[in-house]
């Protein structure tokens, strides 16, 4: 149950009505809307169901999150209106008191009553704020408690059965597409989750957090995990076998996947790895029969429903908005348009597949890094806990800066601050909490600039260097993301574009410590034609980098 907020008698209409006899004695009482304001405050207070935002009757972490969302909606709606009305009461009482005091003979009782109302209104608003903060804290704690309980008990048999059927359906659909490829078909990608004893597989046009979470959820007790994905590789159907065209995938791993697939599909599927050198490793196995690739009518009934799809869309909403300001904005817009069409046609399963690709784009990451390690104690809790203490440390620090960030967004550096916050959203989503901490460093510097120090004070050399590192890291991440998309496009000019992108990354000195290095970087960024071409391919990396170099030059010459 949420802590109740009581409306003091002082803020009731009856309290002010008691002053009528005293007011009648005044020569001329000031006109006031205080009675109406008090009536409205009482009405709004009674209309608010405080118990609706407590922790009672919550059974799952999702229930707790939903209630927290309801509280947030109330804070922006009913509670905001209530606080505003309390402020209206305070303003009306203050105005009345101020006007009445101009009459030296004005009765004291109404003046005292007005002063008491002002005080009570202030305290009431503080009580509401305290109750909301306490409710948020209680709901956060309840969410963590219920999530821990779920993690300890593992998914229910019904959930496991549903997820297993979903994964089987997705794999068979992907294999069917590979068996009969369409002209100009998109390349099929893979993700393999390696556990202690087994290895699971996902196939999709884009693999990311959705596939990782699904595979891990079906491998209880197999942590620690290793994630294998090769964004330069493709999966094809070749010589009656599922063939991975990859220089990274080992035949021993493929055999583990084959054993896992045998349990899932009840078929010893033939599998191969073909390297760019022409070398081939393959397992003994069977071709897949046509009847197995046909959709089971029973699976249609278990397809994703509207409510489940909309819940996932809502959960990704903030990240998608941040992504629309990033380097993948164009592709995300295309996918969102396609999702809207599919959802309108009630094809929520297909729309969900498009969401998988959006989530993979939002996760970003360096595609050259094929492997990820995960701590055993966090493995079954889901991808969002994979970074353990680093995540907790980051979240705590980020939460502590919220008030300053909110104030900063109303200041002179609002645009830059929005960029940094958007960057943090993408980095933390990808689990890159060390990089997120660096962006927090830059945010702190920006906030200190806005609130402390003299107007003419500049950054220290260390602060300026940190700012350069932060902006360089953001630029490199953007360039790598573009390089991946260019490589996947496989245009005639892709090779040249990738060389240009790599050249820019190489020329971005990690720590330009001397004035000569800073001057050379400034000239190169301002004049180089390749940099200009790169800025057309990606976002404008030149402006923020030149700004950081300008600050660094000032600090070095100070």
pLDDT in tens, 66-80: 998 899 999 999 999
Q: Is the pLDDT of residue 157 over 60?
A: yes
What's the whole-number mean pLDDT along residues 297-325? 73
Q: Is residue 396 assigned to a domain?
A: no
Q: What does the alpha-carbon distance between residue 237 and residue 231 come to, in Å, rounded to a whole number?
A: 18
Among 246-255, 278-287, 356-365, the minimum mean pLDDT is found in 356-365
Q: Are residues 55 and 116 in the same domain?
A: yes
In a domain, residue 547? The reply is yes
Neighbours of 138 (CB within 10 A): 20
Residue 266 sits in the same domain as residue 220: yes
133 and 184 co-located in one domain: no
Average pLDDT, the chain: 81
| Domain identity same for 436 and 476 | no
Q: Which of 67-76, 95-104, 262-271, 508-517 has the lowest mean pLDDT?
A: 508-517
Query: How far are the Cα atoms of 40, 93, 417 from residue 86, in angstroms, in the given order?
Result: 9, 11, 33
Distance CA 96, CA 34 (A): 8
Output 377 or 193, whichever has higher pLDDT.
193
Last residue of a domain, one of 425, 451, 477: 451
Is the residue at 391 inside a domain? Answer: no
Find tokens 């909490």 and name the residue: 433
Q: Which tokens in the block code for residue 261?
A: 């697939």
Arithmetic mean of pLDDT, 329-334: 87
- Is residue 215 a part of any domain in this protein? yes
167 and 84 housed in the same domain: no
End position of a domain, from candidates 389, 423, 451: 451
Q: Are 105 and 34 within one domain?
A: yes
Tell me the residue ranges of DSSP E strands in 367-429: 371-373
Q: Given this model, what pLDDT does residue 110 score? A: 93
Read off the pLDDT of residues 277-292 as tens digits, 9 standing for 90 and up.
888 999 999 888 888 7
**Same structural domain for residues 173 and 269?**
yes
Last residue of a domain, one of 106, 126, 151: 151
Q: Which long-range contacts (CB under 8 A, 24 or more apart) does 430-436 make?
A: 430/362, 430/363, 430/364, 430/365, 431/383, 431/386, 431/387, 431/391, 432/365, 433/387, 433/390, 433/391, 433/393, 433/394, 434/390, 435/473, 435/477, 436/394, 436/398
CA–CA distance, 276 with 370 (Å, rounded to integer): 17
- Please tell me the predicted confidence (pLDDT) of residue 313: 84
Q: Do 19 and 103 share a domain, yes or no?
A: yes
258 lies in some domain: yes
Given a cut of 80, whether residue 225 has pLDDT beyond it is yes
Range 369-377 contact pairs with CB under 8 angstroms and sequence separation of 24 or more: 370/228, 370/229, 370/230, 370/248, 371/226, 371/227, 371/228, 372/225, 372/226, 372/227, 373/224, 373/225, 373/226, 374/223, 374/224, 374/225, 374/226, 374/227, 375/223, 375/224, 376/223, 376/224, 377/223
Q: Are 150 and 60 in contact (CB under 8 A)?
A: yes
> Are 78 and 164 members of one domain?
no
Number of structural domains found in the chain:
5
Angle between helices 433-451 and 461-489 (to 10 degrees): 130
In a domain, 254, yes or no: yes
Both 14 and 120 in one domain: the answer is: yes
Residue 520 backbone phi and psi in degrees, to 5: -65, -40
Q: Which domain holds residue 417?
A: 408-451
Q: Of all helices (H) and strands (E), which one includes residue 464? A: helix 461-489
- Both 147 and 163 in a single domain? no
What gap in Å lies between CA 82 and CA 121, rounded to an integer?
Answer: 11
CA gap 41, 81 in Å, rounded: 9
Helical H segments across 234-375, by residue range:
251-265, 290-293, 297-301, 306-323, 329-344, 348-363
Cis peptide before 224 (omega within 30 of 0): yes
pTM flag (> 0.75): no
Question: Is 385 part of a structural domain of the chain?
Answer: no
| Token reading at 421 | 């916050």
Are the beta carbons of 227 and 216 closer than 8 angstroms? no
Q: Are residues 478 and 519 in the same domain?
A: yes
Range from 212-216, 220-224, 348-352, 444-448 carrying the lowest mean pLDDT: 444-448
C-beta neighbour count of 181 within 10 angstroms = 12
In a domain, 511, yes or no: yes
Q: Report which DSSP code applies to 286.
A: B
Q: Is the dihedral of CA 406, 330, 316, 70 positive or negative?
A: positive
């Amino acid at each position: 149950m949420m802590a109740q907020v009581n409306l003091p008698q002082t803020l009731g209409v009856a309290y002010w009505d008691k002053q009528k006899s005293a007011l009648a004695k005044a020569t001329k009482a000031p006109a006031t809307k205080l009675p109406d304001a008090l009536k409205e405050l009482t009405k709004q207070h009674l209309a608010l169901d405080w118990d609706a935002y407590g922790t009672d009757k919550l059974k799952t972490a999702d229930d707790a999150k939903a209630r927290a969302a309801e509280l947030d909606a109330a804070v922006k709606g009913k509670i905001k209106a209530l606080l505003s009305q309390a402020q209206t009461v305070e303003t009306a009482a203050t105005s009345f008191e101020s006007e009445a005091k101009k009459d030296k003979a004005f009765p004291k009782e109404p003046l005292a009553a007005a002063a008491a109302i002002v005080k009570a209104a202030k305290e009431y608003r503080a009580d509401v704020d305290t109750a909301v903060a306490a409710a948020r804290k209680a709901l956060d704690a309840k969410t963590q408690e219920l999530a821990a309980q779920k993690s300890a008990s593992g998914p229910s048999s019904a959930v496991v059965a549903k997820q297993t059927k979903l994964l089987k359906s997705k794999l068979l659909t992907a294999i069917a597409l590979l068996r009969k490829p369409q002209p100009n078909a998109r390349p099929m990608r893979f993700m393999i989750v390696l556990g202690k004893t087994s290895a699971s597989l996902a196939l999709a046009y884009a693999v990311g957090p959705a596939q990782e979470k699904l595979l891990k959820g079906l491998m209880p007790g197999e942590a620690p995990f290793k994630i294998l994905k090769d964004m330069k590789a493709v999966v094809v159907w070749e010589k009656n076998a599922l063939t991975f065209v990859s220089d990274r995938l080992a035949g021993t791993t493929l055999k583990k996947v084959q054993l896992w697939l045998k349990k899932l599909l009840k078929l010893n599927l033939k599998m191969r790895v073909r390297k760019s050198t022409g070398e081939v490793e393959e397992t003994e196995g069977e071709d897949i029969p046509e009847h197995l690739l046909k959709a089971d009518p029973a699976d249609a009934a278990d397809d994703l429903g509207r409510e489940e799809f909309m819940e996932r869309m809502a959960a990704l909403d903030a990240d998608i908005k941040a992504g629309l300001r990033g380097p993948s904005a164009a592709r995300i817009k295309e996918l969102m348009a396609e999702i809207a069409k599919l959802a309108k046609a009630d094809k929520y399963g297909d729309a969900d597949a498009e969401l998988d690709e959006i989530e993979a784009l939002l996760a970003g990451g360096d595609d050259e890094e094929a492997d990820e390690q995960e701590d055993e104690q966090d493995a079954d809790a889901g991808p969002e806990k994979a970074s353990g203490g680093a995540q907790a440390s980051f979240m705590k620090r980020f939460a502590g800066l919220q008030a300053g960030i909110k104030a900063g967004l109303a200041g002179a550096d609002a645009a830059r601050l929005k960029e940094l916050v958007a960057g943090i959203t993408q980095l933390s989503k990808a689990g890159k909490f060390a990089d997120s901490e660096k962006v927090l460093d830059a945010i702190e510097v920006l906030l200190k600039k806005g609130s402390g120090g003299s107007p003419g004070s500049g950054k220290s050399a260390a602060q300026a260097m940190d700012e350069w590192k932060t902006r360089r890291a953001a630029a490199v991440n953007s360039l790598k993301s573009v390089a991946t998309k260019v490589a996947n496009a496989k245009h005639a000019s892709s090779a040249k574009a990738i060389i240009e992108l790599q050249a820019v990354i190489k020329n971005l000195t990690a720590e330009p410590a001397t004035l000569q290095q800073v001057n050379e970087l400034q000239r190169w960024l301002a004049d180089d034609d390749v940099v200009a071409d790169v800025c057309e391919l990606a976002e404008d990396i030149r402006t923020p980098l030149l700004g950081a170099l300008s600050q660094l030059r000032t600090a070095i010459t100070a």
